Structure 1
Amino acid sequence: MFMKFTVKTTQHFLNVIKRSFSVQAEQPILVNGNKISKDVLQKVKERILSIRERVNIREPKLAIILVGNAADSISYVSVKQRACKRVGVQSELIHLPETTTQKEVIQIVEDLNKREDVDSILTQLPFPAQISKTIVINQIEPSKDVDGLQRCFLTQQLIWDDHNNRALPCTPQSCLHILDTHKIDVKGKQVVMLGKGLLVGSPLGAILLGRGAIVSMCDKKSDLSIALKDADILVSATGVRKLVKGEQLKKGVIVIDVGCSRPLPHEDQSSIVGDVEFESVILKASLLTPVPGGVGPVTVSMLIQNVVKQWERNNSVLISQVKFEDVNQQDRESLDSMEKEQQVDSHQKQINDINEGIYKEEIADQQQEKLKKIIQNPKKDILIQ
């Protein structure tokens, strides 16, 4: 049996095909954080092998300070140690009892600061109540602050620059890497940062501003029906389970869910949930990070990547002795970046000096403005007079 094709039937088939492609195009992208993490770790592993084949230096080393026996913290540390082992990074766990004093933790940090075999120091949070995370973390030698948390606790004088090869906080770095992996340009986009915390919200909001996004900061107390309705990109980091509903968002929104909450007593105890109500948000989002399996695994890979960057900077003198012809383009770019880092570190020290009043007040403002430009864009050659 043959069908007679007329203008009408042809148009009908074209409409069916068009609707089919339209439905396919509207299918949301569910971020595979495990795959992204695996890819990052593989590159890190290859990077370590590449350098150690050329230079006779030890493996990178991460020291982890864990206080107490909280099940979540022990689990997170275990995940990080397995990732270290997978890529050829040594990890040393310093597991302290719950009753450890702040003074004792600070002494351990100071000892690790002096050890040349330790490239990076990680304090597994949260600490018990008697220990101030702010005080302890700020005792870490800045070059070994693998979590980048000192930068969060210090007064924010400068717009954050995520292109200067410094150790940015791992979770914000994870969110940025996910956006970059999916080629999402935030410039000119309406970005809502839900959560103003020092670990995620504040630093990530500053970095996104630096990338040209229009950033709105809000928290769980905000009127979300108003705050979220125009968001092109939503990053939620409140730790409030299923806070964000699909009806609060516009179609096509990009959603990065940083939240992680344990199940309620009556729920499946093997499942965890994020800040967004997955079932309703997936109907609106063009891209969504699931919980688990989204931001979490990528954050671990960013931590390991930070360790290796600090290891490279700590051994920059040895690495720089490798003959130019033996270094591939990626290695050369890394060496150039390390040299630039040394210049930026010098400029940052001068900023600290200014803040401590070493320079006279009448020239401080002028120099600080110049230094801000350097930290924001170290590639520009700005002379400091």
Structure 2
Amino acid sequence: MFMKFTVRTTQHFLNVIKHSFSVQAEQPILVNGNKISKDVLSKVKDRILSIRERVNIREPKLAIILVGNAADSISYVSVKQRACKRVGVQSELIHLPETATQKEVIQIVEDLNKREDVDSILTQLPFPAQISKTIVINQIEPSKDVDGLQRCFLTKQLIWDDHNNRALPCTPQSCLHILDTHQIDVKGKQVVMLGKGLLVGSPLGAILLGRGAIVSMCDKKSDLSIALKDADILVSATGVRKLVKGEQLKKGVIVIDVGCSRPLPHEDQSSIVGDVELESVILKASLITPVPGGVGPVTVSMLIQNVVNQWERNNSALIQQAQLEATDETNKQKQEKAQKNQQLNYDLKQIDQIKENTCEEDLGDQQQEKLNKIIQNSKKNILIQ
């Protein structure tokens, strides 16, 4: 038996074939880090304005310590200061020469710890070789450690609760916010954390464990063909350009690329690349963060959010007092309104009683005067309402 192909049936089969190809070629979600960052900063700005409208307090303030003149560090500091200005956070830059000693940097940190007008302290990394980032960071007052990098916080807990009052490291916080924004639940997922560094890998791995993920920690020396093949989520923070290839990953993997590498001499010098080879990984991923424009902008917004959180905690007594006063004022106004309503009801009842018991032409002068007075007072109360 032969099927008769008409124009209609032919078009139907073409549509089926076209649909099957479109499903196979479904595009992954390309994370728009700039938009996410803009949304976070907008909410932070509104929060600052809301608090300062109710409480007479200064603006939040971030102090940044920069040692040396590395072009990347200067650029990053500039981006952070612009973001501060955009939302109403003051920033103060302490720029030291490349030859600054560790003792000099520690002294600046100690001075900033004592200043009541500084809510947060940020050390722009990397430091020159003569300065230990661990020693300097551990000198920061915990309540002012805006980047959450103090070693004591990392070593006290194998599983890090990311819902406490300590600032989370900004880059791990950025990765978490991207996952949360796209409603990705990590519980029970196979997560490969590629890179074990202090700034990203170690804290983020601990936080993901706390959220119920099954976390495998590895580095650039690991056998990636084995380490990556079952990953539901890959977070890569090695700084090795295009280390991860598409053929190493399974279909549908979620990829958070934290890496950032400058172009090689023969490449376009205006572009930077991440840890993953975007052109091959994008064929496997269901969601991927591009470089640039992915994790980076969100990290800056997390930094500013941390500053405002610390500012709010530092001024919690004043903010709570203002809230109590506002509540008292609201209750007072409600009480006064209730009293006025009670008086109004009483006056209206008196008017009705006089009208019921006395004809208007029979009213004496005193009764008429009393009635007029009650009506006048009632009118005032009505106007007040």
Query: Would you call these one fold, judging by a TM-score over 0.5?
Result: yes
Change (3 A) 1:229 1:158: closer
Match for residue 44 of structure 2?
Answer: 44
Matches within 5 A, 1:95-244: 95-151=95-151, 154-244=154-244
Name which of structure 1's ranges 149-158 and 200-209 shifts more when overlaid on structure 2: 149-158
Ranges in structure 1 where 5+ consecutive residues have no aligned partner: 328-385
Match for residue 54 of structure 1?
Answer: 54
Matches within 5 A, 1:15-94: 15-16=16-17, 18-19=19-20, 22-23=23-24, 26-94=26-94
Aligned residues: 323
Structure 1 contact 152–198 (Cα < 8 Å) conserved: no
Letter in 2 for 1:146: V
Letter in 1 for 2:283: L
Structure 1 contact 245–280 (Cα < 8 Å) conserved: yes
Distance 1:325 1:319 in 2: 10
Letter in 1 for 2:229: K
Match for residue 297 of structure 2?
Answer: 297
Change (3 A) 1:19 1:244: same
Letter in 2 for 1:120: S
The alpha carbon displacement at 1:19 in A equals: 2.3
The alpha carbon displacement at 1:295 in A equals: 0.3
Name which of structure 1's ranges 164-173 and 308-317 shifts more when overlaid on structure 2: 164-173
Deviations 1:275-299 (A, max 9, x none): 0001100111000000000000000
Match for residue 306 of structure 1?
Answer: 306
Structure 1 contact 152–203 (Cα < 8 Å) conserved: no
Change (3 A) 1:81 1:152: farther
Instruction: Please give the secondary structure, in 1, of the residue aligned with 2:322.
Output: coil
Distance 1:157 1:232 in 2: 25
Structure 2 contact 134–151 (Cα < 8 Å) conserved: no
Distance 2:326 2:22 in 1: 49
Change (3 A) 1:248 1:20: closer
Structure 1 contact 134–153 (Cα < 8 Å) conserved: no
Letter in 2 for 1:205: G
Change (3 A) 1:157 1:323: closer
Structure 1 contact 153–198 (Cα < 8 Å) conserved: no
Letter in 2 for 1:15: V
Structure 2 contact 195–237 (Cα < 8 Å) conserved: yes
Instruction: Please give the secondary structure, in 2, of the residue aligned with 1:42.
Output: helix
Q: Cα RMSD (Å) of the superposition?
A: 1.9
Change (3 A) 1:152 1:15: farther
The two structures have a TM-score, normalised by structure 1, of 0.80
The structure with the largest helix share of the pair is 2
Distance 1:23 1:225 in 2: 24
Distance 2:216 2:168 in 1: 21
Name which of structure 1's ranges 100-109 and 12-21 shifts more when overlaid on structure 2: 12-21
Structure 1 contact 65–122 (Cα < 8 Å) conserved: yes
Ranges in structure 2 where 5+ consecutive residues have no aligned partner: 328-385
Distance 1:187 1:154 in 2: 21
Instruction: Please give the secondary structure, in 2, of the residue aligned with 1:56.
Output: coil
Deviations 1:309-364 (A, max 9, x none): 0000000000011236958xxxxxxxxxxxxxxxxxxxxxxxxxxxxxxxxxxxxx
Change (3 A) 1:266 1:17: closer
Instruction: Please give the secondary structure, in 1, of the residue aligned with 2:235.
Output: strand
Letter in 1 for 2:126: P
Structure number, greater radius of gyration: 2
The two structures have a TM-score, normalised by structure 2, of 0.80
Deviations 1:230-262 (A, max 9, x none): 000000000000000000001110000000000
Distance 2:75 2:52 in 1: 31
Change (3 A) 1:321 1:21: farther
Change (3 A) 1:35 1:152: farther
Distance 1:151 1:102 in 2: 18
Structure 1 contact 28–285 (Cα < 8 Å) conserved: yes
Instruction: Please give the secondary structure, in 1, of the residue aligned with 2:50.
Output: helix
The alpha carbon displacement at 1:151 in A equals: 4.4
Instruction: Please give the secondary structure, in 1, of the residue aligned with 2:35.
Output: helix
Deviations 1:3-34 (A, max 9, x none): 9698x66973673475266247x210000000
